[in-house]
Chain A
Amino acid sequence: MTDQKFEEMLKGAYDGANPTPEQEERILASLVEAQAAEASQSAEDEVAKPETSPAPNRAKGFKVWKVALPLAACLAVGAVIIGVAGNARTASAPVLESSAAVSETAVQQDAKVTNDAQPTASTKAENRTLETEELAGDDTLGLMATADGAAETALIDEGYPYPGDSAYGEFNTEEYNALKEGGFVSTKANPLSTVSADVDTASYCNLRRMINDGSSLKEIPSGAVRIEEMLNYFDYDYAKPQGNDLFSIQAQSAQCPWNEDTQLLVLGFATAPESQAASKGSNLVFLIDVSGSMDSPDKLDLLQDSFATLLESLGPNDRVSIVTYASGEEVVLEGASGDDDKAILKAIYKLHASGSTNGEAGLQQAYEVAQRNFIEGGVNRIIMASDGDLNVGMSSESELYDFVDGKRDTGIYLSVLGFGWGNYKDNKMETLADHGNGSYHYIDSIEEAERVLKQKLTANLVPFADNVKVQVEFNPAQVKAYRLIGYENRELADEDFRNDAVDAGDVGPGSQFTVAYEVVLADSKMQVDEPELKYGTQSVASSSASGEWLTCSMRYHAFDGDEMREQQLEVGPSQSTSSPDANWNLAAAVIEFGMMARDSDYAGTSSEDQILELLAGAAQNEQATSFARLVASAFHSGDTSGWVVDE
C-alpha cells in the first residue's frame, strides 16, 4: 500500500465519522440552553453585588488565570501522561511472547529489587505484589483479548483498568540491580570514603524516558535511580584545571535543603577540553543488537539514526566496522574509512531486527574485528548498542564481567548505549561498560543520541585519564558523620585508593563529574551512633586541630605522561556559604529529585516545591528548563483534571 493510499483511507475513515445533523442540533440546543441559564445566573450575581465594577472583576480573573496556567500546564501533562501509562499495557502486550511467564518474572524481579534495597522500599514492594495478585485474574483476560485481536476490548479494558496500574507494572521485564543506599557513617569509625569516578549518564535519561511514558515517581524501580549518573547528566560551570593538573577540584558546602542538621557538600571535578586533532585516528567497531527485541522505532530505528550522526565527526584516519548479532553474529562492514559515509550509511540502514540475542558471540566477534583493525596509539573502541537482553550464550552478569574483564588488557575500550524500554536490562548494560573501561549512556531520543555520540563519546574517545579515584578523609574533630550520596556501586575499599591494580573509572577531556556528601558537623544536633572503642580512637593527628573539615584527594593515571598523579583540596568553613552558587543549587535539586524517585530514607523535607526552588537558583538554561518540566510531570502523573493548551 502506498503512503498516499494509506493516508487517503485514513482520511476517508474519519470523514465517515461525522455527526449526524440531528446530533448537531441536539448538542447545540443543550449548549444554548445552558448558556441562557448561565446568563441569568450571572445577571443575578450582578444584582447581588452592584458595587463590583466589571473592570476589577476582569483583572482579578486574569490574575487568577496567570497563576493557574503553570499549574494547569502541569496537570495537563499529567493527564496526557496518564493516558500513556494506562495504555502501555496495550502497547506491550502483543510484544510479549509468553504472558504468564513474563508477568511472573516481573513480579519476582520487583520483589527482588525492592526487598534487597532498603527498609522503606519494602512498602513499595508489598504494594506492588498486592496489586499484582489482585489483578491476576483480569490480566489474563485482557491479554488474551488483545492477542486474539479483539481490539475493541483492549481499548477499554487496557485503557485505564485499575487505579495504580502502570507502564512499569506487571508486564514489565526491565531489570535493575538493587542498590543499597548508603547511610550516615561515623567519622570515628571510618574517616575515609573512597569512590571510583563515574561519567555515565544513563540513569537520568532512563528515568526521563519512564516519566515521559507516564510513570509516577512511585512506579520507578529504586534500582534504576543512580544519583551520581543523574548529577553527571548536567553541565556545571566548573573551573578549568591549572598547571600540570588534569583536573580542577571545587568544593562548596551549604545548609542541606532537606535536613536542617546537616550540610550539603558538593565536590566538582572537571577536565580541560582538548582538541582531538592529535588523535592518530579511531578504530570504531559498532556492535549492534539486531535481535527481535530491537524491532521498534525507539530501538533499531533510533539507533540507526544515532550512528549516522556520529559519521559527521569521522575522517579518513578513522576505521569503522559494524558487527551485528542476533541468533548469530555477522561482520557487516570491516575497516571502512571514516570518510566513506556512503558505504557506512548503507550498511547501517540495511540492518533489520529478528531472532534471539546471542550477545556473547557478538562481543567476541567485535573484539576480534577491533583487534584486526587495531590502531597503535590511537583510539580503539567498541560501541555496543542494545536493549541489554542477551538471552543466549553467557548471559549471567558474572560471566559477562569475566569476559569483558579479560579483554581489558587488549587496549580496546567498550562503551555501551542503551535503547528501548519494557525489556530493558540496565544491570547487564552497566556491568558491561564498567568492566570494559567504557562509559554507559541511555538513548531515548535523537537529540540525546547527538549529545552522547558527539559530545560525550567523542570526548571519551581519546584516552586521557583512567583509573580515576576520589578519596575524602574527614576530620573527626570537625565532622561527626557523613553520608555519600549515590555512587552505591562505585564505592571502593579505602586501601584500594593507592592500589593501582584496582580498576576505576575513565574520564575523557572536557568531562565533569560531581560527588556529594551530607556532612554532620561537630556542633550539629543530630545524634550519630558512634562505636565504643575499647582501645580508644586512632592516635589523634596534629592536623585535626586545624579547622579543616576534610581533605579531598584524587588519584589517576594520566595518559600524557603515562604516570600516576594525585591532587588534593582541603575543605573547611571557608568553602561553606549561606548563599550557594548555581552549581550547588543544581546539584541539590538533582539529588532531591533522585532521592524522591528512589524513595530514599534520607529524603527528609524534600518536596517538589523545594526542588523547583533550588532549580530557580541554578543556571537558567535548556537543561534546567527541561529538568523542571520533568519534575512537574513526575509529580503530577497521577492528576487527571485540568485542561490547557499553550497560550
Chain B
Amino acid sequence: MDATKEKVNAGRKRCDIEAVFRRHVKTVYRLCYSYMGSPQDAEDATQAVFMKLVTKPREFDSEEHEKAWLLVVAANHCKDELKSAARARAAEMPDDVADPDVSVGASDVMRAVLALPVQYKDCVYLHYYEGYKTDEIAQMTETPPSTVRNRLRDARALLRAALEAD
C-alpha cells in the first residue's frame, strides 16, 4: 500500500473508534489488569485509555504506531490511578484496616506479575507478551535502553524466585 493511501486510511480510521477498540482492546486490557489487579479496575482503566481517543481524536502513521500509543497511555494512566488511589487511602483509612486483596481469582503466575514493583510492569508485558525489543521499549517509554535491560533482568529474577518458591 502506498503512503498516501495509508494516510487516508489512517485518517478514516481515526473516527472509527469501534475499529480501533476491537483491534487493541485485549492488548490494552491485559496491561491494565497487570497494574490494577482487578477486572473492575482494569475495565475502568481500559475505558479511560480509549476515551482519550474519543475526546481528542488523533492520527496514527500505522496500526503499530496506534498500538504503541495506546500501550504507553495505558501504562501511564494506570500508574497515575495507583498513585491517586494510594493517596486517597492514606488519607481516609486508619492504619489497622487491611488493604483489600485485589487479585482474588488470579493465577499464581499472574499473582507474581501483580506483585512486581510498578516500574517493571510495562517492560515485562511489552517484552514477554507483546514481543517488543528492549530498544523499542526504551523508545516508547523514554527510558535509557540500559535501564530497560536492567529492569527486565530484575523482573525476571523476581518472577522466577516467586514461581520457583511455589
Interface residues of A (CB under 8 A from B): 1, 6-7, 9-14, 16-20, 23-24, 26-28, 30-32, 34-35, 38, 73, 76-77, 79-80, 82-84, 86-87, 90-91, 137-138, 141, 151-163, 212, 297-298, 301, 444-447, 640, 643-646
B38 to chain A, nearest CB (A): 10
**Neighbour of A163 across the interface among B50, B51, B87, CB < 8 A:** B87
- Set of chain A residues within 8 Å of B34, measured between Cβ atoms: 14, 17
A31 touching B37 in the complex, CB below 8 Å, given contacts A18-B29, A86-B83, A156-B102: no
**Neighbour of B160 across the interface among A6, A18, A445, CB < 8 A:** A6
CA of A531 to CA of B42 in the docked complex: distance in angstroms?
70
- Set of chain A residues within 8 Å of B30, measured between Cβ atoms: 14, 17-18
CA of A91 to CA of B90 in the docked complex: distance in angstroms?
20
CA of A382 to CA of B164 in the docked complex: distance in angstroms?
40
CA of A76 to CA of B75 in the docked complex: distance in angstroms?
11
Q: What are the 7 tightest A-B residue pairs by CB atom distance, in nearest-first order?
A: A151-B115, A160-B83, A13-B109, A445-B146, A90-B117, A19-B29, A13-B110
Interface residues of B (CB under 8 A from A): 17-18, 21, 25-26, 29-30, 33-34, 37, 39, 42-43, 46-47, 50-52, 54-55, 65, 68-69, 72-73, 76-77, 79-80, 82-87, 89-90, 95, 98-99, 101-103, 106-107, 109-119, 124-125, 128-129, 139-144, 146-147, 150, 153-154, 156-157, 159-160, 163-164
A104 to chain B, nearest CB (A): 20
**B54 and A17: CB pair below 8 A?**
no
- Set of chain B residues within 8 Å of A16, measured between Cβ atoms: 106-107, 110
CA of A14 to CA of B29 in the docked complex: distance in angstroms?
10
A481 to chain B, nearest CB (A): 42
CA of A13 to CA of B153 in the docked complex: distance in angstroms?
19
**Neighbour of A82 across the interface among B83, B87, B95, B144, CB < 8 A:** B83
- Set of chain A residues within 8 Å of B129, measured between Cβ atoms: 10-11, 14
CA of A24 to CA of B99 in the docked complex: distance in angstroms?
28
CA of A14 to CA of B116 in the docked complex: distance in angstroms?
14
**Neighbour of B99 across the interface among A83, A86, A153, CB < 8 A:** A153
- Set of chain A residues within 8 Å of B42, measured between Cβ atoms: 17, 19
A152 touching B114 in the complex, CB below 8 Å, given contacts A31-B47, A32-B18, A643-B52: yes
**B99 and A80: CB pair below 8 A?**
no
- Set of chain B residues within 8 Å of A163, measured between Cβ atoms: 87
A298 to chain B, nearest CB (A): 6
- Set of chain B residues within 8 Å of A151, measured between Cβ atoms: 111, 114-115
Would you give 22 A-B contacts (Cβ < 8 Å), ordered by A?
A: A6-B160, A7-B128, A14-B125, A17-B30, A17-B106, A27-B25, A27-B47, A30-B51, A31-B47, A31-B50, A87-B119, A90-B118, A91-B154, A151-B115, A152-B115, A153-B99, A212-B144, A297-B150, A643-B52, A644-B72, A646-B139, A646-B142
- Set of chain A residues within 8 Å of B84, measured between Cβ atoms: 160
**Neighbour of A10 across the interface among B95, B98, B106, B128, CB < 8 A:** B128
**B83 and A141: CB pair below 8 A?**
no
CA of A221 to CA of B103 in the docked complex: distance in angstroms?
38
A34 touching B72 in the complex, CB below 8 Å, given contacts A84-B119, A155-B118, A212-B144: no
**B87 and A76: CB pair below 8 A?**
no
CA of A136 to CA of B102 in the docked complex: distance in angstroms?
25
A89 nearest CB neighbor, chain B only:
B117
- Set of chain B residues within 8 Å of A10, measured between Cβ atoms: 109, 113, 124, 128-129, 159
